[in-house]
Amino acid sequence: MSHSYEHPRPALAVDCVVFGLDENGLQVLLVERGVAPFKGRTALPGGFVRLDETLEEAARRELEEETGLGAKVFLEQLYTFGDLHRDPRERVVSVAYYALVKLSDHRVRAATDASAAAWFRLGDKPQLPFDHEQILRVAKARLQAKVRYQPLGFELLPPRFTLAQLQSLYEAVLEKPVDKRNFRKKILSMELLEETGEREEGVSHRAARLYRFDRKRYVALEKAGVNFEL
Amino acid sequence: MSHSYEHPRPALAVDCVVFGLDENGLQVLLVERGVAPFKGRTALPGGFVRLDETLEEAARRELEEETGLGAKVFLEQLYTFGDLHRDPRERVVSVAYYALVKLSDHRVRAATDASAAAWFRLGDKPQLPFDHEQILRVAKARLQAKVRYQPLGFELLPPRFTLAQLQSLYEAVLEKPVDKRNFRKKILSMELLEETGEREEGVSHRAARLYRFDRKRYVALEKAGVNFEL
DNA sequence: CCAAAAGTGTTTCCGATACACCCATGA
DNA sequence: TCATGGGTGTATCGGAAACACTTTTGG
């Protein structure tokens, strides 16, 4: 079926930069393209926006289809890329989103071939087609800026985590070491963490306390205009 | 002439939020719509994106056409709005930009009827159609956030300005008073201002020194990663 | 000489940073 | 008992904020 319009219009797509974290640091989720152009190449997940869905819905749908990621991941609009020749087929404008997920929940590496999605370390990924390198750069910059004044970090960790895990998350994102005592002081003083009373298990040394992110309190503090600068 | 595509696609537009400043505080530039829908209503300037122009080019073209604003105003992408029914005609996705201009250079109020553009105080404007109220809210929030860590203020002032003018600009944007001595200390310590040696003229009291924004130095400092937090 | 705005320093306070040792646990 | 990471407090520094009077100029 064909659709016609009085004036020509660009195609509209969404692309997603999904960040995750594990022991090896910050990772990004990429998929193998199943269709031309760049068929077989590794790229950001994304696709065209349908008429009956908002931009964010389109981004979530593509994530679900291409990577199996659930509907409740943290997702935020990043920037809209509209250079004339960013897509070799025709004029395509892409609204980019970035997402943060707990990598432990989403071990898609060696995924079902249906999805063909895999995690890559930032320093260790293939060259990306289209303008996806640029999109990824912008996303990383945004993540680094944002983590300073919003406790996004919690989106990247499992529901219960140790302070050491949280600290290495910050170190991975900011790409620099952080003082342990100062970090703990600061993060605990925000009163966003709730002690679960539980301990880490299966380690051959003193077991760390497990914390949980207090989302209710976060929402309350945010409304009150509190600053979460690291 | 008609254009057809295999899949239906949303129309793609740009909208601009143009901020300006004068003695009465922060103002926004609005136009009277010449076409349906909402013909005759006051709204943000904007229009559809053509195939042979980037998003920013489209925004500048619309600004030029509807308000006569030159090509060199400060313009930055704000956010992309894609709710399903934001336009009553059909699905339209709009990439919003915001601009800062020296209002003194652009006295378009009581403009040529060709443009029908006028400045409005933020507290004193008609209700806007589409989702333009939302766009304006987002733009204001962005401006307030941005002015804290980027000396955007200079875009809003004439080429030579007094420190008092600059201070009232900050006060207008942040909507709160600022201490004169601390402000001067801070802003001068950034070394972004160059004294012109000239004085204000025609005032019936001590004449203030005129300063100029040192753009070269700004670019250099920005590259070096310097912080401009107010 | 009066009105109006320009211009100018110091003190206080708080949060950021730097820094090193003891503790608990399992192997 | 040793190896491993968990957990803790204090002193210093620097920037933010609070604060009021003198100077200049034109009317």
Where are the domains positioned within chain A? 11-146, 153-223
Lowest-pLDDT choice from A97-111, A210-224, B142-156: A97-111
Classify domain A153-223 by CATH number: 1.10.10.10
Q: What is the pLDDT of residue A112?
A: 45
pLDDT band at B149 (very low <50, low <70, confident <90, very high): confident
pLDDT band at A114 (very low <50, low <70, confident <90, very high): very low
Neighbours of A213 (CB within 10 A): 19
Report whether pLDDT(A185) > 90.
yes
Residue A22 in 3-state DSSP?
A: strand
Interface test mutation site (partner A, options B35, B80, B135, max chain A beta carbons within 10 A): B80
Q: What is the pLDDT of residue A120?
A: 92
Nearest nucleotide by C1' position to the A163 CA atom: D6
Q: What is the pLDDT of residue B28?
A: 94
CATH class of A11-146: alpha beta
Express each pLDDT in A126-147 by its tens digit.
999 999 999 999 999 999 888 8
Does the CB of A229 have a partner CB in chain B at under 8 Å? Answer: no
Cβ contacts of A110 within 8 Å, gap of 6 or more: A118
Report whether pLDDT(A125) > 60.
yes
How far off is chain B from A121, nearest CA to CA, in Å? 26
Q: B11-22 and B92-101 as β-strands: parallel, antiparallel, unpaired?
A: parallel
Nearest nucleotide by C1' position to the A204 CA atom: C26
The average pLDDT across B32-57 equals: 94
Comparing alpha-carbon positions, the chain B residue that sits nearest to A92 is B51
pTM comes to: 0.91
Q: What is the pLDDT of residue A107?
A: 59
Lowest-pLDDT choice from A1-10, A20-29, B140-149: A20-29
38-97 of B, contacting A, C-beta below 8 A: 48-56, 77, 79-80, 82-84, 91, 93, 95
Contact state of A5 with B11 under an 8 Å Cβ cutoff: yes
Q: A92-101 and A11-22 as β-strands: parallel, antiparallel, unpaired?
A: parallel
10 Å CB burial of residue A73 (0-12, 13-18, 19+) is: buried
Q: What is the pLDDT of residue B139?
A: 97
Q: Judge: domain B160-223, CATH 3.40.50.170.
A: no
Measure CB to CB from residue B7 to each of A3, A54, A83 and give the nearest one: A3
